[in-house]
């Protein structure tokens, strides 16, 4: 495969206020060569998504 054919890893923003969940998700996704951006709260998630829009957001729906 040449440089033009190489796939770019998806940029995934992972949002969870539970550090254990965040660590688990990050490790699982990184094993599959995704670019993972973990954040522990909604405020950081919004600013991160605005600064560098992700391809996917995985969000814990039960957060303060």
SS3 46: helix
- Global pTM? 0.83
Of the chain, the percentage scoring pLDDT greater than 70 comes to 89
Q: Residue 23: inside a domain, yes or no?
A: yes
Does the residue 15 lie in any domain? yes
Give how far Cα 26 sits from Cα of 3, 4, 22, 32, 35, Å. 27, 28, 6, 10, 9
Q: Where does the pLDDT of residue 9 fall: very low under 50, low under 70, confident under 90, or very high at 90 and above? A: confident
- For position 21, which CATH number holds? 3.40.50.2300
- 23-60, pLDDT tens digit by residue? 999 999 999 999 999 999 999 999 999 999 999 999 99
**pLDDT over 80 (residue 8):** no
9: containing domain: 3-59
Report yes or no on 64 lying in a domain: no
Tokens standing for residue 20: 């254990």
> What is the count of structural domains for the chain?
1
């Amino acid at each position: 495969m040449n440089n033009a054919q190489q796939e770019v890893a998806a940029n995934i923003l992972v949002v969870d206020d539970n550090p254990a969940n965040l660590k688990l998700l990050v490790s699982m996704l990184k094993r599959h060569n995704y670019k993972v951006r973990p954040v522990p709260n909604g405020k950081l998630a919004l600013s991160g998504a605005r600064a560098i829009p992700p391809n996917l957001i995985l969000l814990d729906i039960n957060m303060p």
